[in-house]
Chains A and B, each alone.
Chain A
Amino acid sequence: MNPVNTKSEGEHYLWVDTSRCIGCFSCEVACKMEHELPAGPRPIMVIQIGPVEHEGEMILTYQPATCLHCNSPACVEACPTGAMQKRADGLVFSEAEICIGCQRCAIACPFGIPQLNPGTGKISKCDGCADRVEKGLSPACVLSCPTEALSFMTPTKKAQRIREQFSQRILQSGAGR
């Protein structure tokens, strides 16, 4: 389970639980609808891994990959116009009005996150749904996820959720009796 920091205040994080991801791509389409993107760029991208055989068992997993909003983002350093920026709250975003579509950020990013939007000729990447979050709404990808593989909450809340789930499992197994 990887916490992806989308909020430097240490409050809300995007949590990715690959054990619950089923590769339905709902997050990808919700992102496109929210940001009015064409088919090409995928700010969040679900990658199928496997199936591979491991100790006689088949393993198939899906990994939703999106911007990690790095503390020292290479994309920001590489941007020649200042379009790629890191906000005070930690979110890394590209300002469309300034972006010239040179894709230096795409090359600089070690995870290949920024992608060119062929419709606008500008870079598109995850901005953490900042406009939604500022209105108190969940990021679009989280909202549509059918299995709660993606969630958006504070570490405190997440820890509470993990404890609840663990307790439920103990209760269901009968070990608590």
Chain B
Amino acid sequence: MNLRLFDRYSGTRKKHERWVRTVCQECSLRCGLIAYLKNGGIVDIHGDDDHPVSRGRLCARGLAFVQGIVSPERITCPAFRKSLQEPFTAMEDWEKALDWYAERLRKIKDQHGAESIFIGCDPEADLDFAIGATRFAVLLGTPHVYHPFDFPQIPSQFPWPPYPASPCYEWGHSKCLFLIEADLAATHPVAFGWVLEAQQHGAKIIAADTRFTRTLSKADLPLRIRPNSGNVLGLALMKIVLENPGPHDDIAQARFNNPEKWRASFDQLSWEDMKNALGLTPESLKELQDLLRGNLPTTIVTGRNLAAFEGYGVWPTLVSAKGWGGTKGGGWYPLESTTPPLNPCRGIADRSTEKVPQGKETQAPGILKELRERVKKGEVRARAILCAGDCLGDFLSFFQGLEKRPDLMATFGSFPNITQELSHLVFPAAIWAEKSGLCFSNDRAIHWAEKILEPRPGCRSGLDFWLGLAKRFGWAEAFPWIKEDGSADHRSFYQWVVEGSPVLKGFQLDRLKDQNQAPDPGFWSLRVTMEGDGKIEPTPAPKTVGSPAPALDREHFPLYFQKIPFVSRSGTIGRYWPWTQNLEEEDAVQINPETARALHIENGDAILISSPVGTMEGRAWISRMVPPWMVASPKNSEEDWVLVHKKDQTGDEALTLLKEFLP
């Protein structure tokens, strides 16, 4: 047959009975996808050409998730055991498992107090689990809820930018894209397609990071900065604007409250301190400033980790001062701040207002480190822990290996993992593709994501879990989203979410749900919520800036450790997607060639990564992506400073070799 002239033409050649249009929920970009089904299973997937952000593209994760759905290792029925030494016994049904769990949880609350009960939510569990967990914790009376979602109660608080960036499909209008500690090419490849398109249209790409990342490799100006110093770069730029304003910089137009006080805070910032913290030469800073001075509009893309460090508020302030906000291709694009402002405790918080968990605070590494210390010292003892996903294999790993183990450990998840290995009770969770619901994106888009297929028998949603547990505690009225058959009514739940958020008013679920039409996500903006005189509070500079917290014992742990994104999902869940797991080693540890040479480490060698809190195994990946004083891995380390050595080498031997090599 004659082929038409086409750039790309989507569709499937595979026989199918029906197709579903939905959005991928593997990352915060929410690409549109079309799934083709036959006999209740997915036979093919491709990107949705009509989706304004993804334009028919999908990344590796957005395709490989299909393997997780059908994985023979999925947890598909509740199971329990009396002690961790015993094998799990499958339970007949969910209702009996919930009865068993509720009875024991109530006993622990009565004996040891509600504050001995901890709840962890990882992203696998989705928004419905996180909201349910927060409400349940308030009713129970425990402040210990740890989750990746933010629930800012006051819309004007950052990280909600008063001048949000336009969606990435408008980045073609940018004259400059400035990515700070945001390896978009690795974490959001489809969004990075827009970066390259902007570059093709003449935009300058500036990227700052500690490693030489995929993103830096495509930048016109790659800047290697010290770890976690991205916000200092923003502070330095703000100080430059204040001291030497360019022709487009007009602070007076920025509608700031108390601009004099804010200005004064920058006067006392030391250039020397900032240069030391950043590790940049004055020439690099000048080149950066020259690029930013002459280019309008500019989009600032900041990585997720920056939110945990001092000075984060400089980014919206800088965008306002430079006049980049409110224009196509200009503004601030903070990665992973997708959830709109909402109060998960609406309607119940009056029962225990002071104990409403604050998502942002609980996510700060400082809070988790403090909790870790208190747990290890025995000041805080968890008698019961409930985790969604693999929290104990990730950010709550300090609960592993405690001498005084929790009396009751339960997990709500889809796959075997470390948390499950340490649990007494397992509840099988539906995967995102098996449940319909609202989801939010980096671009401030709101989508109704239709489920692709029915949940595997025995698997339920997070909302179903909390409804069942709350009913057993007599709190059913706080979880009113229930159908006549007793299952969770996700539509009414998400209607409640929409009605409760000041920025989502006016969105119609029915319109969003019309999946057979071309996708028409709504885009919400905080600008509509600004009240009063419309002025914003600029974030003042901190009193000092410094290098990342030095190791307590740099003499023995001289290498900086960074967790890095990989193609597959991080954590153990990636093991159930062989297509992506096969592409990169989950235990790979990037080591600079010079460091490796000094330590006599060769590519692929089995190595140990030691820190003051323990040792983990890895496999050497020798690469110049990391500087000589740094190692990086998709694995998580509790400590920022480590020592690396071969398995057959002692730590002392490695230290001696490193001392000769590192300054």
A residues contacting B by CB (< 8 A) are 7, 11-12, 20, 22-26, 28-30, 32-34, 38-40, 50-53, 58-62, 131-138, 140, 142-148, 151-154, 157, 165, 168-169, 171-173
Contacts and interface: CB of A to CB of B under 8 A. Distances in A.
A26 B64 CA distance: 9
B217 A60 contact: yes
Nearest to A144: B58
Given A33-B63, A59-B217, A40 B582 contact: yes
A153 to B, nearest CB: 6
A153 B8 CA distance: 8
Given A22-B192, A173-B202, A135 B11 contact: yes
Contact of B3 (A12, A59, A62, A131): A12
B57 A60 contact: no
Contacts of B47: 143-144
Contacts of B202: 168-169, 171-173
Main secondary structure of the interface of A (DSSP, over half): mixed
Interface stretch (B137-145, B193-201, B279-287, B535-543): B193-201
Contacts of B6: 136, 138, 153
Contact of B5 (A38, A62, A132, A153): A153
Interface in B194-244: 196, 200-203, 212, 214, 216-218, 222
A28 B60 contact: yes
Contacts of A145: 57
Contacts, number: 145
A29 B5 contact: no
A90 to B, nearest CB: 13
B189 interface: yes
24 contacts: A22-B217, A24-B185, A26-B58, A26-B62, A26-B189, A29-B63, A29-B64, A29-B580, A40-B582, A58-B217, A58-B222, A58-B624, A62-B214, A136-B4, A137-B11, A138-B9, A143-B10, A143-B46, A143-B47, A145-B57, A146-B59, A157-B5, A168-B200, A173-B202
Contacts of B624: 50-53, 58
Contacts of A29: 60, 63-64, 579-580
Interface string B38-68: 0000001111000000001111101110100
A29 B44 CA distance: 12
B212 A51 contact: yes
* In the A-B complex, the 9 residue pairs with the closest CB atoms: A172-B202, A39-B578, A60-B217, A24-B189, A39-B582, A22-B185, A146-B57, A29-B60, A146-B189
Contacts of A12: 3
Interface of B: 1, 3-13, 44-47, 56-60, 62-64, 66, 185-186, 189-190, 192-193, 196, 200-203, 212, 214, 216-218, 222, 567, 578-583, 623-625
Given A22-B218, A33-B63, A135-B11, 10 more contacts: A24-B567, A30-B63, A33-B44, A51-B217, A137-B13, A138-B10, A143-B8, A146-B58, A165-B200, A168-B200
A132 B13 contact: yes
Given A132-B13, A138-B9, A147 B189 contact: yes
A172 B201 contact: yes
A33 B45 contact: yes
A171 B196 CA distance: 17
A60 B60 CA distance: 20
A157 to B, nearest CB: 6
Contacts of A165: 200
A65 to B, nearest CB: 14
A171 B60 CA distance: 35
A153 B47 CA distance: 19
Contacts of A20: 196
A6 to B, nearest CB: 11
B214 A60 contact: yes
A138 B46 CA distance: 11
A144 B63 contact: yes
A26 B8 contact: no
Nearest to B54: A146
Contacts of B45: 33
A136 B1 contact: yes
Contacts of A157: 5, 7
B285 to A, nearest CB: 18
Contacts of A60: 212, 214, 216-217, 625
